[in-house]
Amino acid sequence: MKYLLKTENLKKYYGKKEVVKALDDVSLAIEEGKSLGLIGESGSGKSTLGRIISCLEKPTFGKISFMDQRIDNLSEKQFRSLRKDMQIIFQSSKGVFDPTYTIGDSIKEVLKNFEKLSEREYEERIDETLKSVGLDPDLKYRNVNQLSGGQCQRANIARALILRPKFVICDEPVSSLDYSIRKQILNLLNEIKEKYGITYLLITHDLSNVSYVCQAVAIMYKGKIVEYLDDTEKIGEKVIHPYSKILYASIPKANPHNRSIVYDKDNERVSELNQIIKGCSFWDRCEKCSEICKKNIPDLKEIYPGHKVACHLV
């Protein structure tokens, strides 16, 4: 099996005195053409993982390989040639474009960094890409402040796509958008995926996004992957890990009488990354917690083909 991206025992610690373990032993593999959704609550380390994979930050420990090449020890200069194949879409906000540049110039700059074309070819390529994300090419003469939120996010996607990358990291691509626009953008991501053959790493805390775009899903908790599923249909029924269950039970139901979440107020604790916990990172919130959970850290075991869980009790 060919892996597009593979991380092994990735760790990222912040701080010197009080160590914050943003990532703790993350091993992931993404196959070509099989987009992965990464889910987790705020502070679970999913955005950190995105930044580390795209080499915007260096890991404290661990290996990352991209297209059969180790990338975690490359310098920014050496990695630059690989950026053509790995792009990142940031969370939509006006801040992702330089306010003194027009949209067209911002996109052109990215293209110019990697490809030497004539001025005319640059313009054609930008127009074509803007059209493919559903924007009027004339918008390239505008500044970011003159765009709406949805347009801004489409332009953001256009900037990532202009290089025709193989792998795109989407860091919360829709979380700051209106509900009506969210679905449009997700459908757009889907269309583009099929058109250009892109593999995504979709980082999100919105569970409903995943099944739209992804073929596999990983659930993170406190810097660790607690569950991995090779299939995104009816995830809610398939998950086994107690945390994943709570996570899926928290999806709001249309009918209030069907509310399934039963949440013990006493057990509610803020999950803090710097809290040093022996054993399973979830035991203090887990209902089924037993003695072994407090002592040993569970490994990510494969229980069915394509289904991995890190829990002692399964």
Partner 1 sequence: MVKKVIDIENVFFYNRKSKVEKLENKVISNFGLKRFLEKTSTKAGFLIIIIFITVALFAPVLAPHDPLLVDVTNKLKNPSLSYPFGTDQLGRCVLSRLIWGARNSLLYSFTVLFATLMIGVPIGLVSGYLGGKVDSVIMRIIDIFMAMPSFIVALAIAGTLGASGKNLVFSMSLVYWAEYARLSRALTMQIKEQSYVMALKAGGCNDFQILFKHVLRNIASSIIALATMEIGSIILSIAGFSFIGLGVQAPTPEWGILLSDSKEYIQTFPSLMIYPGVAIVIVVMAFNLVGGGIQDGLSAKKR
Residues within window 45-104 making contact with partner 1, judged by CB under 8 A: 51, 54, 56, 76-77, 80, 83-84, 87-88, 90-91, 93, 95-102
List, in sequence order, the alpha helices (H) in the chain.
Answer: 46-53, 76-83, 103-114, 119-132, 149-161, 179-196, 207-213, 235-238, 242-249, 291-295
- Binding part of the chain for partner 1, among 62-70, 137-145, 180-188, 223-231 by CB under 8 A, reads 137-145
Give whichever of 44 and 54 is closer to partner 1, judged by the CB atom.
54
Q: Please state the closest distance from residue 158 (CB atom) to partner 1, in A.
A: 12
Q: Please state the closest distance from residue 299 (CB atom) to partner 1, in A.
A: 33
Distance CA 32, CA 207 (A): 22
Regarding 271 and contact with partner 1 (CB under 8 A), the answer is no
Residues within window 102-121 making contact with partner 1, judged by CB under 8 A: 102, 109-110, 113-114
Count of residues near partner 1 by CB under 8 A: 31
H or E element: which one contains 199? strand 199-204
Distance CA 60, CA 44 (A): 17
Give whichever of 91 and 132 is closer to partner 1, judged by the CB atom.
91
Q: How far is CA 171 from CA 114, 174, 176, 263, 313, in A?
A: 23, 9, 11, 29, 32
3-state helix, strand, coil in the chain (%, to 5): 35, 25, 40
Q: Please state the closest distance from residue 220 (CB atom) to partner 1, in A.
A: 21
Distance CA 285, CA 305 (A): 28
Q: Please state the closest distance from residue 267 (CB atom) to partner 1, in A.
A: 36
Give whichever of 56 and 303 is closer to partner 1, judged by the CB atom.
56
* Interface with partner 1 (CB under 8 A), residue from 141, 196, 263, 304: 141
Q: Please state the closest distance from residue 187 (CB atom) to partner 1, in A.
A: 23
Residue with tokens 């604790």: 269
